[in-house]
Amino acid sequence: MNKLNSITRRTLLAVVAASLAATALFAASISADPIKIGHYGSMTGAQATFGQSTDRGVRLAIDEINAAGGVSGRPLELITYDTKGDSGEAGKAVTRLVSSDKVTAVIGEVASSLSLAGGAVCQQFKVPMISPSSTNPRVTVGRDYVFRVCFIDDFQAFALAKFAKENLKASKVAILYDQTQAYSKGLRDEFAKAFKKMGGEIVSDQAYSGGDQDFSAQLSNIRATDAQVLMAPGYYADGAAIAIQARKLGIKLPLLGGDGWDSEQLGKIAGDAIVGSYYSNHSAPDQPEMKGFLEKFRSKHQGQTPDALAGLGYDAVYLLADAMKRAKSLAGPDLRDAIAATKDFPGVTGSITIDKNRNASKAMVIVEMYKNAQGDVVPKYKDGVAPDKE
């Protein structure tokens, strides 16, 4: 009797132990350890729409991936820090992501100067970083852990120069650029080079410092020239202010900007002053290939039209998840190799192949600012430029 009892007890204990183990296993498979991904972006400050918009694209991709079972059964967990549009803050944000949060990979930044700061940290800690939208060539140079899913400014500047020359029939251009931003200065340098090569002339080359509010001295100088186009390769808040102040001074020239103008704030702030001006970008909202993404984004964000940054953030996450699935492990060097091997990845902003310099060669679009039926000043597709395949 006693003996039987102890056997029963032991059997019972074993059964309980086994079922506990099974429960633990089951729990592990459904709530597997999340894979942490960091995003650093300007959620506030002078470039606030860059970070906010990118974060929306990033979150949309993460939600979809998690709803479909995550990456190898593990959900993606996003940690976002605000850089306030400041390089020092960007460095701090990335340090926190890689050293305290121990993220597997980092998405960011938009502004090239901030990606240069954050990239230094990712490189040091051997954590792969993908910038969705930093176009300055230096961002990925000498940093084998730093990638991007957009074209670079040599191509953007060349295509802008060609547009000024061939479409706008301009031979004389005035430039007003932000000397404190790697992006703006780089685009100005490359544009001037390309435009001169095409036989054009830069009749005025003026600088300002990000944060400046008054452009009247530079604009008066430009007004005194015979420029046919005013190129302003800064970020959107500056582009809008320059447009308004130029019109006040009686300057009627079309303005030409780079992708840094891409924000719903450009048309909202500048209004009529920016109508009839152009900028280069990664995608245009009225491009047919953007349709599916546009609808998903709009249904999540009260009908808001996504800018190019949302699409690029979305693509950066999907490309990263694809590399994670192919990687030997999620350790820095393995993940880096898998990202580097990405070929013909079908992004919503175009097909993405990571080249040997860790950049993407993609098509560019030129958009024109116009006033739509609702009276909003917004961009529409004007011209497409095929990827630079050299």
What distance in Å separates the CA atoms of residue 108 and residue 45, rounded to the nearest whole number?
16
Nearest residue to 168 via CA among 253, 97, 265, 282: 253
List CB contacts of 23: < 8 A, sequence separation 6 or more.
none
What distance in Å separates the CA atoms of residue 138 and residue 39, rounded to the nearest whole number?
20
Find the distance separating the first CA and the last CA of the chain, reported in whole Å: 87
Q: List the one residue from 51, 210, 260, 285 that touches ligand PHE (CB under 6 A).
A: 260
Q: Torsions phi, psi of 243, nearest 5?
A: -60, -50
| # residues near ligand PHE by CB under 6 A | 14
Query: Which residues 171-200 are close enough to bind ligand PHE by CB under 6 A?
Result: 183
The answer to the question of residue 309 lying near ligand PHE (CB under 6 A) is yes
CB of 309 to ligand PHE, least distance (A): 5
**Given the complex with ligand PHE, which of 193 and 223 has the nearer CB atom?**
193
**Given the complex with ligand PHE, which of 182 and 229 has the nearer CB atom?**
182
The answer to the question of residue 265 lying near ligand PHE (CB under 6 A) is no
CB of 169 to ligand PHE, least distance (A): 27
Please give the residue whose beta carbon sits closest to ligand PHE in the complex. Answer: 183
Asked if residue 152 lies in contact with residue 360, where contact means CB atoms within 8 angstroms, the answer is no
Residue 278 corresponds to which tokens in the numbers above? Answer: 């152009």
Nearest residue to 350 via CA among 282, 285, 269, 264: 282
CB of 219 to ligand PHE, least distance (A): 23
**Given the complex with ligand PHE, which of 251 and 307 has the nearer CB atom?**
307
**Given the complex with ligand PHE, which of 136 and 265 has the nearer CB atom?**
136
Query: Which residues 96-115 are close enough to bind ligand PHE by CB under 6 A?
Result: 110-112
The answer to the question of residue 239 lying near ligand PHE (CB under 6 A) is no
Stretch that binds ligand PHE, among 71-79, 119-127, 259-267, 361-369 (CB under 6 A): 259-267
**73: region left, alpha or beta (phi > 0 left; psi from -120 to 50 alpha):** left
Binding site for ligand PHE (CB under 6 A): 50, 110-112, 133-136, 183, 259-260, 262, 308-309
